[in-house]
Amino acid sequence: MDVHTQIPLKNYTTMRLGGPARFMSEVHTAAEVGPVCKNALAQNVPIFVLGGGSNVLAHDEGYAGLILRNRIPGFEVIADTPADTTIKAGAGENWDEVVRRTVKMGLSGIEALSAIPGTAGAAPVQNIGAYGQEISETLVSLEAYDMKTDQHVVLQNADCNFSYRDSIFRSTAAGRYVITSITLQLSKDAPQPPFYKALQDYFDTSGVTFFTPQVIRDAVTAIRKEKLPDPKERPNVGSFFKNAIVEDWQLTDLKNQYPDIPTYDLPDGRFKIPTGWLIEQTGLKGQLINGIRVHDKNALVLINESATSFSDLDAARKQVAGAVRDTFRITIEQEPLEIV
pTM of the predicted protein model: 0.92
pLDDT value at residue 231? 93
Q: What angle do CA 337, 339, 340 make, to 5 degrees?
A: 115
* C-alpha of 178 from chain center: 17
pLDDT value at residue 230? 92
What domains, with CATH codes, occur in the chain? Answer: 3-70 (3.30.43.10), 75-187 (3.30.465.10), 197-227 (no CATH), 236-339 (3.90.78.10)
Please confirm, yes or no, whether 239 is among the known catalytic residues: yes
Tell me if residue 8 falls in helix, strand or coil.
strand
Q: Of 93, 239, 293, 317, which is the active-site residue?
A: 239
Q: Of 16, 134, 143, 165, which is the active-site residue?
A: 165
pLDDT value at residue 105? 98
Please confirm, yes or no, whether 181 is among the known catalytic residues: no
Q: What is the DSSP letter of 190?
A: P
pLDDT value at residue 267? 86
* C-alpha of 118 from chain center: 8
pLDDT value at residue 2? 85
Cα atoms in the 13 Å half-sphere on the side-chain side of 294:
26
**Alpha carbons 303 and 288: distance in angstroms, whole number:** 9
Residue among 26, 30, 9, 27 at smallest CA distance from 18: 9
Tell me if residue 189 falls in helix, strand or coil.
coil
Cβ atoms within 10 Å, residue 234: 16
Q: What is the DSSP letter of 82?
A: S
> In the chain, what is the greatest distance between 2 CA atoms, to the nearest angstrom?
61
Residue among 55, 61, 52 at smallest CA distance from 20: 61
Cis peptide before 231 (omega within 30 of 0): no
**Alpha carbons 77 and 80: distance in angstroms, whole number:** 7
**Alpha carbons 192 and 198: distance in angstroms, whole number:** 15
The one-letter amino acid at 58: A
Angle of helix 213-227 relative to helix 197-206, nearest 10 degrees, comes to 100
Q: 189-248 pLDDT, tens per residue? A: 999 998 998 999 999 999 999 999 999 999 999 999 998 999 999 999 999 999 999 999
Please confirm, yes or no, whether 176 is among the known catalytic residues: no
Q: What is the DSSP letter of 150?
A: T
Q: 144-167 pLDDT, tens per residue? A: 999 999 999 999 999 999 998 999
Low-confidence ranges of the chain (pLDDT < 50): none
